[in-house]
Chain A
Amino acid sequence: MAKITIQNLTKYFGEKLVLDNVSLSIEEHEVVCLIGASGSGKSTLLRCINDLVEFDKGIIELDGVSIHDDKFYKTNELYKRIGIVFQSYNLFAHMNVIKNITLAPRYVHNVPKAEAEAYAMELLNLFELDGYAKSYPEQLSGGQQQRVAIIRAMATRPDVLLLDEITAALDPELIGGVLSIVKDLRENGMTMVIVSHEMGFARDVADRVCFLDQGKIIESAPPENLFSNPENPRTRQFLQRIIEAGRM
Chain B
Amino acid sequence: MISQKPSQPSSGRRNRKFREKYLPTIISILSVIVIFWAIRSAVINAEQWPRIKAQFFDISAIIEVFPKVLRGFGLNMLVWVISIASIALWALVLAIFRSFSGAWFAPLKIFSIVYIDLLRGLPTLLLVLLFGFGIPALRIPGLPHHSVFWGGIAIVMAYSAYAAEVYRSGMEAIHDGQRAAAKSLGLSQMQALRFAILPQAIRNVVPSLLNLAVALQKDVALLSVLGVRDAVREAQIYTARTFNYSSLIAAALLFLVATIPMARFADYVTRKDQERRLQITR
Interface residue ranges, A against B (CB under 8 Å)? 50, 52, 76, 78-80, 83-84, 86, 88, 90-95, 103-104, 107-109, 138, 152-153, 156
Q: Give CA–CA (A79, B180) in the complex, Å.
A: 12
Of A52, A91, A104, the contact of B180 (CB 8 Å cutoff): A52
Question: Which stretch (B151-159, B183-191, B210-218, B231-239) binds chain A?
Answer: B183-191
Which 5 residue pairs across A and B have the least CB separation, nearest first? Answer: A79-B186, A90-B181, A104-B185, A90-B177, A108-B186
| A92-B187 contact, Cβ under 8 Å, with A103-B195, A138-B279, A138-B280 | no
Interface residue ranges, B against A (CB under 8 Å)? 175, 177-178, 180-181, 183-187, 191, 195-196, 199-200, 203, 279-280
Q: Give CA–CA (A54, B137) in the complex, Å.
A: 55
| A94-B181 contact, Cβ under 8 Å, with A107-B187, A109-B186 | no
Q: Give CA–CA (A90, B184) in the complex, Å.
A: 11
Interface of A is mostly: loop
CB distance from A77 to the nearest CB of B (A): 9
Q: Give CA–CA (A91, B184) in the complex, Å.
A: 12
Of B184, B195, B200, the contact of A79 (CB 8 Å cutoff): B184
Q: Assess whether A93 is in contact with B177, with CB atoms less than 8 Å apart.
A: no
Q: Assess whether B186 is in contact with A76, with CB atoms less than 8 Å apart.
A: yes
Closest to A103 in B: B195
Closest to B183 in A: A52
CB distance from A127 to the nearest CB of B (A): 18
CB neighbours of A108 from chain B (8 A): 185-187, 191
Q: Give CA–CA (A48, B134) in the complex, Å.
A: 56
CB distance from A73 to the nearest CB of B (A): 11
Q: Give CA–CA (A152, B177) in the complex, Å.
A: 15
Closest to A75 in B: B186
CB neighbours of B200 from chain A (8 A): 92-94
A-B pairs with beta carbons under 8 Å apart, 22 shown: A52-B183, A78-B186, A79-B184, A79-B185, A79-B186, A83-B184, A86-B177, A90-B178, A90-B180, A91-B181, A92-B178, A92-B196, A92-B200, A94-B200, A94-B203, A95-B195, A103-B185, A104-B186, A108-B186, A108-B191, A153-B184, A156-B186
